[in-house]
Amino acid sequence: MRTVTEKNLSLIDIDILIQECLKANRKELNFVYLISPWLSDYPLTDSLIDYTSNIFDISDLDNFSDLLCYYKQNGGNLKIICRPINDDLFNGKKSFMINRKRLLQKLSISGTEIRTNDPLHAKVTISSIAVLHGSFNLTPSGRFFNLEFGSFCTKQEDIGFYSETLKWTENLYNNSKKMGKVI
């Protein structure tokens, strides 16, 4: 298991998605669950674009949501669990709520399966190859600005932890509400 902080979090996120994109392109088993109470879109930084461009051309991708939609359009199995869109517990900026709604609309249109869970506080990304979890929401602040901490391991590094996390994730997903159409 490896330590994750705000310094390497985005690179690990992108690396997981790229590996799953490659598996989807080869028609291999692939999936990504993104679990975060709060989600909003953010631009891909130049360093992330440079990193990914060594693997495949993403010159048309400007935002994290573009990469998620690219994955979905290429046969990716993407599932999201978040708090309900009109959650009264969040008294944040209006711009954040608008960004969040646009992101969920875009992902819903792409065919992404989105579920909501009222008491959700967990932040986990699990794919067919790895687990990433910690204190970070899937937001610009959680990915770039806040002081964050978590851990990352591949399926091969710790099959027990991976299997337990996948089972927990599937149970959470199955017991979460299907999100209706985002208007």
Q: Is residue 182 part of a domain?
A: no
Q: Are the CB atoms for 173 and 79 separated by under 8 Å?
A: yes
Q: Is residue 100 part of a domain?
A: yes
> How would residue 54 be classed by pLDDT, with cut points 50, 70 and 90?
low
Rounded to two decimals, the pTM is 0.90
Query: How many CB atoms neighbour CB 50 within 10 A?
Result: 10
* Domain total in the chain: 1
Q: Is residue 181 part of a domain?
A: no
Distance, CA of 73 to CA of 83 (rounded, Å) = 25
pLDDT at 157: 95
> How would residue 9 be classed by pLDDT, with cut points 50, 70 and 90?
confident
Alpha helices in 61-158 (DSSP H): 64-73, 94-109, 140
Q: At a CB cut-off of 8 Å and minimum separation 6, what does 164 contact? A: none
Q: Is residue 183 part of a domain?
A: no
Could you report the per-residue pLDDT of 130-143, keeping only the tens digit for each?
999 999 988 878 88
Backbone angles phi and psi of 138, in degrees to 5: -90, 70
Q: CA nearest 19: which of 57, 49, 47, 52?
A: 52
Could you report the per-residue pLDDT of 87-111, keeping only the tens digit for each?
555 556 777 777 888 889 999 999 9
Q: Which CATH number do you get for residue 97?
A: 3.30.870.10
Could you report the per-residue pLDDT of 108-122, keeping only the tens digit for each?
999 999 999 999 999
| Segments forming the whole domain that contains residue 55 | 2-176
Q: Is residue 133 part of a domain?
A: yes
Least confident of 46-55, 109-118, 120-129: 46-55
pLDDT at 50: 59
pLDDT at 69: 92
Q: Is residue 42 part of a domain?
A: yes
> How would residue 72 be classed by pLDDT, with cut points 50, 70 and 90?
very high
pLDDT at 90: 55
Q: Inform me whether the pLDDT recorded for 46 exceeds 70.
A: no
Mean of per-residue pLDDT scores for the chain = 86
